[in-house]
């Protein structure tokens, strides 16, 4: 289904944002409600369900925190995330140096966390019932905030520059990954006093003497995006060196998969995503006004999804239906849906069709003859 993703001509997402869309999140409970955050501080909540029962429909915006809302973010919203365990709460963080915890029903902030610098990224663990989220800001210190106490409980020190992306492991509830402008990616265990488990090294410890690169760098530039595979066994990172790297998350080893040049000019965090429930797994990486689709383990560029008119800033995968949603500076959210088969001309009966009318992903490769 992922191999046949195409822009869905029958499904629109209601256009509410008046400026670029930086971040999207679909809640993991039903996969039905989606949040978006814009560069003007606006947050919108959509229902992706088709109530019309017609093939063509628009995903409606249920509500929004608009610019006139007294508690709206003053500057660009960089990350939105649903509370992983129910849809009654969601979080948003912004360049206005705050992270807000929202009550979905009242659209009022239940809590507000203030930081010294711009907030680039935050993430709440999908596993942990401890209400801990990690926050990456302009400061090199990674902050852990506790929703229960309403305060920042913990600081992880080790980066030298701003922290552009953070993500908890979907496999180990105490482990998280952070990516920084200092070219480094660190894995942490928040139960340990020192915190840091390892600093990822693109050379796997085999750096040549001639190389002047700093020790233990994950990229030769700012590392501005990271994403775990759904099983948590691997970590994918992107950097402004136009490279994407796949790491074994338990050993920290660079798997050396070659994706070629992965253009990345983002000055802030790049919100890319990985498929879930597919074999093989795919990465969807914003690339100018398109989205590049790679197979994660072979590094092959499968296709470029074209449809936006301006830079794509984020994409999110809906695993129940293998759909992709993307947000762009063109103020649009596009839905990419698997095309099940090529259209059949009206005057041809299905039975007389040659086999190639089926999308190759669905052809039956099984054979009953012994020679094959």
Residue 344 lies in a domain: no
- Do residues 239 and 284 lie in contact, with contact meaning Cβ atoms separated by under 8 Å? no
Residue 340 lies in a domain: no
Answer yes or no: pTM beyond 0.75: yes
Residue 287 lies in a domain: yes
343 has a pLDDT exceeding 80: no
For residue 223, the enclosing domain spans: 69-309
Residue 326 lies in a domain: no
Quote the pLDDT of residue 344.
Answer: 56
Residue 354 lies in a domain: no
pLDDT band at 347 (very low <50, low <70, confident <90, very high): low
pLDDT band at 236 (very low <50, low <70, confident <90, very high): very high
How far apart are the C-alpha atoms of 186 and 180, rounded to whole Å? 9
HEC readout, the chain: CHHHEEECCCEEECCCCCCCEEEEEECCCCCCEEEEEECCCCEEEEECCCCCCCCCEEEEEEEEECCCCCCCCCCCEEEEEECCCCCCEEEEEECCCEEEEEECCCCEEEEEEECCCCEEEEEECCCCCCCEEEEEECCCCEEEEECCCCEEEEEECCCCCCEEEEEECCCCCCEEEEEECCCCEEEEECCCCCCEEEECCCCCCCCCCCCCCCCCCCCCCCEEEEEECCCCCEEEEEECCCEEEEEECCCCCECCCCCCCCCCCCCCCCECEECCCCCCCEEEEEECCEEEEEECCCCCEEEEEECCCCCEEEEEEECCCCEEEEEECCCCEEEEEECCECCCCCCCCHHHCCHHHECHHHCCCCCCCCCC
Residue 42 lies in a domain: no
Question: 268 pairs with which residues across the strands?
Answer: none
Sign of the Cα torsion 258, 264, 268, 272 reads: negative
Quote the pLDDT of residue 200.
Answer: 96
Render pLDDT for 10-37 as a digit per residue (tens, 0 to 9): 889 999 999 999 999 999 999 999 999 9
261 has a pLDDT exceeding 50: yes
Q: Looking at residues 36-64, what average pLDDT do you find?
A: 92
Q: Looking at residues 250-275, what average pLDDT do you find?
A: 92
pLDDT band at 360 (very low <50, low <70, confident <90, very high): very low
What is the pLDDT of the chain when averaged over all its residues? Answer: 88
Name the residue with higher pLDDT: 205 or 333. 333
Q: Return the CATH number at 240.
A: 2.130.10.10
Residue 366 lies in a domain: no
Q: Looking at residues 36-56, what average pLDDT do you find?
A: 92
Quote the pLDDT of residue 354.
Answer: 47
Residue 353 lies in a domain: no
Render pLDDT for 113-143 as a digit per residue (tens, 0 to 9): 999 999 999 999 888 767 788 999 999 999 9
Total domain count for the chain? 1
Pairing mode, strands 11-13 and 57-65: parallel
């Amino acid at each position: 289904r992922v191999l046949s993703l195409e822009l869905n001509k029958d499904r629109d997402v209601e256009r509410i944002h008046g400026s670029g869309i930086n971040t999207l999140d679909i809640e993991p409970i039903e996969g039905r409600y989606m949040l978006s955050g814009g560069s003007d501080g606006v947050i919108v909540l959509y229902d992706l369900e088709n109530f019309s029962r017609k093939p063509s429909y628009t995903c409606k915006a249920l509500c929004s925190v608009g610019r006139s809302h007294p508690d709206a973010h003053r500057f660009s919203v960089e990350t939105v995330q649903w509370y992983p365990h129910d849809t009654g709460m969601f979080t948003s963080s912004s360049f206005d140096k705050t992270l807000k915890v929202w009550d979905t029903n009242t659209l009022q902030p239940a809590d507000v966390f203030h930081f010294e610098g711009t907030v680039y990224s935050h993430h709440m663990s999908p596993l942990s019932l401890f209400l801990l989220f990690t926050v990456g800001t302009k400061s090199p210190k990674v902050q852990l905030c506790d929703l229960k106490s309403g305060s920042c409980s913990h600081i992880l020190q080790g980066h030298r520059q701003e922290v552009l992306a953070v993500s908890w492991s979907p496999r180990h509830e105490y482990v998280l990954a952070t990516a920084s402008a200092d070219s480094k990616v660190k894995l942490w265990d928040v139960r340990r006093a020192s915190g840091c488990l390892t600093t990822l090294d693109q050379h796997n410890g085999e750096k040549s003497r001639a190389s002047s690169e700093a020790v233990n760098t994950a990229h030769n530039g700012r590392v501005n995006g990271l994403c775990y595979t759904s099983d948590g066994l691997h970590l994918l990172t992107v950097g402004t060196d136009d490279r994407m790297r796949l790491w074994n998350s338990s050993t920290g080893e660079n798997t050396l998969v070659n994706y070629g040049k992965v253009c990345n000019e983002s000055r802030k965090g790049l919100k890319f995503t990985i498929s879930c429930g597919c074999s093989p797994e795919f990465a969807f990486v914003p690339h100018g006004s398109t989205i590049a689709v790679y197979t994660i383990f072979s590094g092959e560029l499968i296709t470029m999804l074209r449809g936006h008119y301006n830079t794509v800033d984020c994409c999110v995968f809906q695993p129940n239906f293998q759909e992709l949603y993307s947000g762009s500076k063109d103020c649009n959210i596009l839905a990419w849906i698997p095309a099940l088969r090529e259209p059949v001309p009206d005057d041809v009966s299905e039975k007389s069709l040659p086999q190639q009318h089926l999308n190759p992903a669905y052809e039956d490769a099984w054979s009953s003859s012994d020679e094959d």
